[in-house]
Amino acid sequence: MHRILVTGSADGLGRLAAEALLDQGYEVVVHARNPGRVEALRPLLDRGADLVVTDLAERDAVRDLAATLAGGAPLDAVIHNAGVWSGRAVMPVNIVAPYLLTALLPGPRRLVYLSSGSHFTGRPELDGIDWQGRTPGSYGDSKLFVTALAAAVARLRPGVPSNAVDPGWVPTRMGGAGAPDDLELGHRTQEWLATSDDAEALTTGGYWYHQEREEPHPAVPDVAFQDRLLAALARETGTPLG
């Protein structure tokens, strides 16, 4: 049976993905940012989900989370769903946390990173990026970086399917009530990539939208850019991607 971590699962797409995975009989580890968010997850906990509580904007907390997870039952997949739209937590949550968890967690057999169509507005420039979140970060830049991270992991860990997913502009708290995309389709692709034995789902290095593989920003498959990004994150965190 697959055991799957879904970060940012107290609401929105992460909550829907966690619910759907439980419905399908998988073991699910749900994540809340702080204790005040735990009650929102009570229905999933009552159904058998395990819980981790971590502020992904805090690097030491992310390291502690990785150590806790590494000491528990092995994870078969991680869906890096947690994200913020604006403010100082953009870079710490949207790219630094997934990078650290990827570097520190042993053995997930599949990795899924939540991208966005906004990654096309990102700039493949690393000079001057405030990785620590002392100033507000660019959402588009953060999503370009995490999409490139997914591609870099696919290249460096060929036995581990690693993919990025654009869930669409969906009506969640982040997307807003008037968002035009399909909320149901918004979470299916990450579940499929995390669990399915379909040949397509077992491919790696893709950028997906509603179970269709699409072309990402030109910087994403650029190996030189991937390597510069990984080097910058390794210097910033003191943790190389193994």
- Residue 90: which of 39, 56, 54 has the closest Cα? 56
Which pLDDT value is given to residue 107? 84
The whole-number pLDDT of residue 77 equals 98
Structure tokens at 216: 């990402």
Q: From 207, 9, 174, select the one nearest 85 (Cα to Cα).
A: 174
Q: What confidence score (pLDDT) does residue 173 get?
A: 63
Give tens-digit pLDDT for 116-148. Answer: 999 999 999 999 999 999 999 999 999 999 999
pLDDT score for 31: 98
Question: Is-catalytic flag, 113?
Answer: no
Distance CA 187, CA 199 (A): 20
Q: What is the pLDDT, as a whole number, of residue 168?
A: 81
Instruction: Give the predicted TM-score (pTM) of the model.
Output: 0.95
Give dist(CA 191, CA 16) in Å, integer: 10
The single residue of 113, 139, 207, 209 carrying the catalytic annotation is 139
Measured CA to CA, the distance from residue 18 to residue 5 in angstroms comes to 9
**Which residue type occupies 149?**
L
pLDDT average per 10 residues of sequence, the chain (242 residues): 93 95 98 96 98 98 98 96 96 98 94 98 98 98 98 97 88 57 81 96 97 97 98 98 87
- What's the rounded Cα separation, in Å, for the pair 212 and 226? 23
Q: Are 240 and 103 in contact (CB under 8 A)?
A: yes
Q: For residue 130, is it left (φ>0), alpha (ψ between -120 and 50) or beta?
A: beta
Geometric angle at alpha carbon 204, from 65 and 7, rounded to 5°: 25
Taking residue 197's Cβ as centre, other Cβ atoms within 10 Å add up to 6
**Catalytic-role residue among 113, 143, 207, 209:** 143
The pLDDT value given to residue 148? 99
In the annotation, is 143 catalytic? yes
Distances (CA, A) of 156 to 149, 195, 222: 10, 21, 14
Residue-range domains of the chain with CATH: 3-237 (3.40.50.720)
Give a three-class secondary structure readout of the chain.
CCEEEECCCCCHHHHHHHHHHHHCCCEEEEEECCHHHHHHHHHHHHCCCEEEECCCCCHHHHHHHHHHHHCCCCCCEEEECCCCCCCCCHHHHHHHHHHHHHHHCCCCCEEEEECCHHHHHCCCCCCCCCCCCCCCCCHHHHHHHHHHHHHHHHHHCCCCCEEEEECCCCCCCCCCCCCCCCHHHHHHHHHHHHHCCCCHHHCCCCEEECCEEECCCCCCCCHHHHHHHHHHHHHHHCCCCC
The pLDDT score that the predictor gives to residue 181 is 61
